[in-house]
Amino acid sequence: MMPSTAEDLDRKTFFYDLLVPVMNKYVDGLDQGKGMYLLFVKPEVSTPSGLMARPVLTSYYKSSNFRNRPFNRFNVYTSPNEIILCWDSKQSMYCQLLCGLVQRDEVLRVGAVFASAFLRAIKFLEDHWTELCSNIRTGYVSDWITDPSCRNATSLILGKPNPELADLIELECDGESWEGIIKKLWPRTKYIEVIVTGSMAQYIPTLEFYSGGLPLISTMYASSECYFGINLKPLSKPCDVCYTLLPNMAYFEFLPVEKNHEEVSNGASDLHCIEKEDERVKMEAVNLVDVKLGHYYELVVTTFTGLYRYRVGDILMVTGFHNNAPQFRFIHRRNVVLSIDTDKTNEDDLLKAVTQAKLLLEPLGFLLTEYTSYADTSSIPGHYVLFWELKMRGNSDLPELDPSKMEQCCSTVEESLDSVYRRCRKKDKSIGPLEIRVVKHGTFDSLMDFCVSQGSSVNQYKTPRCIKSEEAIRILDSRVVGRFFSKKTPFWEPFRMETK
C-alpha cells in the first residue's frame, strides 16, 4: 500500500495535462472529435486506521481533478464519468462500449491504460456485439444494466432507436474475420493509446491484428508509488519507446546494474539483507543528472507522499537525452524470475525465449494470445512449465496442434534461455525438460477474474508472467488441452564466461 495525498492529485493532473500538447504536436485535428478511453474503478477497502485504500487510478478517477478535467466539459470523451465510476466492471465495460459505438463517427482515438485491458474490451465486444446492436436498434439499454447512474448516462447517449447504425455495426462484427475491426468500427481513429512497453510488449501482434495498422502509442510510464515520465515521441515504434522522467514528480536516483541486469556489486547473496541494501543505495545510487548513455539502472524514488529511497524494482536503460533530461527505455521488472537450481530467468529473458518459439507457429496461422509460467518442483528434477493460450488468426477456434511442432517450440524456448539454464539442463541435469501446456480459449480471462477477485485492479492488471499461487495454477491446469515436452537437451558450451 502506497501513501497518497490530495496534493499529489495535482501533481498527477499536471502530468496528464502535459500529455495533451505532446500528442497535439504529433497528431493534427484531435480537437475535431472524441476519445474512447475504457477506464475502470475498483471498490475501496477501509484500513484499520480508518483511511480508505484503493488502486491509484481509482483514486484519481474518483477525484474532482479527474471528474472536472477541463476537456471533459466539451464532451471530448465517449465514456461519461458516471459509467467510469461504476463499481461493477461488467456493467461499466458494456456501457462504455455502447457509448463508444453510438458515437463511432466522432471517435478519433481509442485506448485503455494497458494493452491487456484494451484487448479484454475487444474480447467483451466479441461476446456482446449482438446485444449491443439490439440496444442501439431499439434505443433501450439491456435490463441487466441496473446501476442507476450508469443506466441513465448510457440512455442519454443512446437516444432514439437507430436501426441504420445497428445494421452497420452488425455487418462489420458479423464479417469473416475481426482483422482490423477497430478501424472498421471506429473509422476515423488515428491511433490506439495503450502501454505496450515492458511486459505489455507481447500483446503487440494481437493488437496489430485488430487495429488495422493504427499506431500503438505508449504515452506514459507510471506506478502506484509515483508517476515517472512521459514519451515525448509518441509515434515512435513500440520497440523504440523511451520515457523522459519528469524531475518534479519525485526525487529520482539510480542504482547501477550491469548490462545482464545483475547488480554491480557482490549483489545476489546480499539481496535479502535489507541493511546492506540500504547502505548500497546510499553509497552507489547516482542522481538523474549523472546517469550515462547506454547504462542500466534500477530506479529508486523518494516521493512527496513519504517513500524514502524506495526501490521500485524496475530496470531502465539510458537511451538519450531531451535537452539535458535523460530518457530511459523500460527493460524489465527486477526479480520476476523462474528458478529451479542456480538459474534465474527474468521476465525479459522469458519474453525473448517465447518470442523465438512462437515464430515456429506464426507461419501456420497461430497467434499466441497469452502466456505465463511456473517452476514445477513437484517432481525431481523440477522443470519450467509454460501455459500458452493459442488461437487461429481471424477466429477463436482452438487450433489443431501438431505434437512435433509443439515439442520444437519447447526446445526453442530452452535454446533461447541463458547459459546457466542450459548448463543446468545439459550438464548438471538439475532441470528437467521444459513443458508447454496449451490451455483453452478464455483461460487467461479466468485467470484475470481470479486475480481481480483477489484484489487486483482491472485497469492496472498485468498478466503475471510467473504464477506462484496454487489456486491460480489449478485454474490454468483445469483448462489444459495439450501437454508437450522438449525432446532435446539444449546446446551449452562449457568454456564461455557465465554471467549469473
Residues at the contact surface with ligand AMP, assessed by CB under 6 A: 195, 197-198, 218, 221-224, 312, 314, 330, 333, 460
Closest to ligand AMP by CB, 103 or 116 = 116
Closest to ligand AMP by CB, 222 or 361 = 222
As measured in angstroms, the least distance from the Cβ of 495 to ligand AMP is 36
Closest to ligand AMP by CB, 247 or 482 = 247
DSSP secondary structure letters along 208-220 = HHHHTSPPEE--E
As measured in angstroms, the least distance from the Cβ of 141 to ligand AMP is 32
As measured in angstroms, the least distance from the Cβ of 218 to ligand AMP is 5
Contact 301, 251 (CB under 8 A): yes
With CB atoms as reference, the residue minimizing the distance to ligand AMP is 198
Closest to ligand AMP by CB, 242 or 417 = 242
**Is the bond preceding residue 48 a cis peptide, omega within 30 degrees?**
no
Closest to ligand AMP by CB, 99 or 117 = 117
Biggest alpha carbon distance in the chain? 75
Give the Cβ contact number of residue 472 at 10 Å: 19
Contacts within 8 Å (CB) and 24+ apart, 151-156: 151/95, 152/82, 153/80, 153/82, 153/83, 153/95, 153/99, 154/83, 154/95, 154/98, 154/99
As measured in angstroms, the least distance from the Cβ of 204 to ligand AMP is 13
As measured in angstroms, the least distance from the Cβ of 225 to ligand AMP is 7
Closest to ligand AMP by CB, 80 or 229 = 229
45-46 and 52-53 beta bridge pairing: antiparallel
Residue whose cell numbers read 486506521: 49
Q: Which 3 state secondary structure label does DSSP give 221?
A: strand
CA–CA separation, 217 and 205 (whole Å): 14
Closest to ligand AMP by CB, 199 or 369 = 199
As measured in angstroms, the least distance from the Cβ of 219 to ligand AMP is 8
227-230 and 220-222 beta bridge pairing: antiparallel
As measured in angstroms, the least distance from the Cβ of 33 to ligand AMP is 25
